Structure 1
Amino acid sequence: MPHDPRSATLAAATAPGTWDLLVIGGGASGLGTAVEAATRGHRTLLLEGHDYAKGTSSRSTKLVHGGVRYLAQGNISLVREALHERGLLRKNAPHLTQSLGFVVPAYDWWAGPFYGLGLKLYDVLAGRLNLGRSKALDKAATLERAPTLQPQGLRGGILYFDGQFDDARLAITLLRTLEDHGGAALNYAPVTGLIQERGRVVGARFRDVETGREDEVRARVVVNATGVWADDIRRLENPDARPLLSPSQGSHVVVSKRFLPGDSAIMIPRTDDGRVLFAVPWHDHVVIGTTDLPVPEASFEPRPLEEEIAFILNTAARYLDPAPTRADVQSVYSGLRPLVKDEQSDGVGSTAALSRDHVIRISEGGLVTLTGGKWTTYRRMGEDTVDCAERVGGLPQRLTVTPGLHLHGWSEEPLPDALRVYGSDAQRIAALPGAGCFLHPGLPYTEAELRWGVRFESARTVEDLLARRTRALLLNARASLEVAPRAAAILAEELGQGPAWADEQVRRYREVAEGYLLGPASLSPGQGQGE
Structure 2
Amino acid sequence: MTTTSNQGAAPTRREDLLARLAQDGTWDLVVVGGGATGLGVAVDAAARGLRVLLLESHDFAKGTSSRATKLVHGGVRYLAQGNVALVREALQERTTLLKNAPHLAQPLAFVMPSYKVWETPFYGVGLKMYDALAGSAGLGRTEFLSRRQTLACLPTALPQGLKGGVKYWDGQFDDARLALALARTAAAHGALLVNYCPVTTLTYRDGKLSGLACRDTETGREYAVRATCVVNATGVWVDELRRQDAEALKRTVRPIVAPSQGVHAVVDREFLPGSHALMVPKTADGRVLFGVPWMGKLILGTTDTPRGDSPREPRPFREELDFILGESARYLVRAPRREDIRSLWVGLRPLVKPGGDDGEPTKAISREHTVLVSRSGLVTVTGGKWTTYRAMAEDVLEKCFEARLVARRPAGVTANLPLVGAPSTGALATSISAPPGLHLYGTEAAEVASLRGSDRHLGGGLTAAMVRFAARHEYARTVEDVLGRRLRLLFTDAALAAQLAAEVGALLQAETGVDPQAAAFRDLAASYLRMPA
Amino acid at match of 2:521: Y
Among residues 231, 234, 246, which one is paired with 2:258 in the alignment?
Answer: 246
SS in 2 for 1:302: coil
Among residues 93, 96, 102, which one is paired with 1:94 in the alignment?
Answer: 102
Q: Which stretch of structure 1 is more off in the superposition, 348-357 or 370-379? A: 348-357
Pairs aligned (count)? 511
CA distance, structure 1, for counterparts of residue 223 and residue 29 of structure 2: 17
Among residues 186, 190, 215, which one is paired with 2:198 in the alignment?
Answer: 190
What residue in structure 2 maps to residue 432 of structure 1? 451
Amino acid at match of 1:484: A
**Does residue 289 in structure 1 map to residue 301 in structure 2?**
yes
SS in 1 for 2:410: coil
Among residues 6, 9, 13, which one is paired with 2:17 in the alignment?
Answer: 9
Post-superposition Cα deviations, 1:453-483, rounded to whole Å, max 9, x if no partner, equal 1100000111000100010101100000000
1:518 CA displacement? 3.6
**Does residue 211 in structure 1 map to residue 247 in structure 2?**
no
> What is the correspondence of 1:400-479 to structure 2 with a 5 Å cutoff?
400-411=412-423, 412-414=427-429, 418-440=437-459, 443-479=460-496
1:193 CA displacement? 1.0
What residue in structure 2 maps to residue 529 of structure 1? none
CA distance, structure 2, for counterparts of residue 481 and residue 147 of structure 1: 32
Among residues 376, 379, 390, which one is paired with 2:387 in the alignment?
Answer: 376
**Does residue 323 in structure 1 map to residue 335 in structure 2?**
yes
Q: Which stretch of structure 1 is more off in the superposition, 265-274 or 451-460? A: 265-274
Q: Which stretch of structure 1 is more off in the superposition, 406-415 or 486-495? A: 406-415
Amino acid at match of 1:166: D
1:127 CA displacement? 1.1
What residue in structure 1 maps to residue 520 of structure 2? 508
CA distance, structure 2, for counterparts of residue 413 and residue 69 of structure 1: 30
What residue in structure 2 maps to residue 55 of structure 1? 63
What residue in structure 2 maps to residue 26 of structure 1? 34
Give the TM-score, by structure 1 length. Answer: 0.94
1:496 CA displacement? 2.6
CA distance, structure 1, for counterparts of residue 363 and residue 428 of structure 2: 41
Mind listing any 5+ residue stretches in structure 2 that lack a counterpart?
1-10
Contact 2:103 2:428 in 1 (8 A): no
Contact 1:97 1:166 in 2 (8 A): yes
Contact 1:331 1:516 in 2 (8 A): yes
Amino acid at match of 1:476: D
Q: Which stretch of structure 1 is more off in the superposition, 158-167 or 446-455? A: 446-455
Post-superposition Cα deviations, 1:482-523, rounded to whole Å, max 9, x if no partner, equal 0000011001111134xxx45xx122112221210044xxxx
Q: Which stretch of structure 1 is more off in the superposition, 430-439 or 42-51? A: 430-439
SS in 1 for 2:79: helix
CA distance, structure 2, for counterparts of residue 321 and residue 444 of structure 1: 29
Dislocated runs of 4+, deviation >6 Å: none
Percent identity over the alignment is: 51
**Does residue 128 in structure 1 map to residue 136 in structure 2?**
yes
CA distance, structure 2, for counterparts of residue 336 and residue 128 of structure 1: 33
What residue in structure 2 maps to residue 278 of structure 1? 290
1:4 CA displacement? 6.7
Contact 2:21 2:223 in 1 (8 A): no
1:349 CA displacement? 4.9
CA distance, structure 1, for counterparts of residue 270 and residue 175 of structure 2: 23
SS in 2 for 1:11: helix
What residue in structure 1 maps to residue 371 of structure 2? 360
Change (3 A) 1:486 1:394: closer
CA distance, structure 1, for counterparts of residue 468 and residue 138 of structure 2: 38
Amino acid at match of 1:436: D
Give the TM-score, by structure 2 length. Answer: 0.94
1:272 CA displacement? 2.5
**Does residue 256 in structure 1 map to residue 268 in structure 2?**
yes
What residue in structure 1 maps to residue 158 of structure 2? 150
CA distance, structure 2, for counterparts of residue 76 and residue 413 of structure 1: 31
Post-superposition Cα deviations, 1:163-208, rounded to whole Å, max 9, x if no partner, equal 0000000000001100111111000000111111111111111111
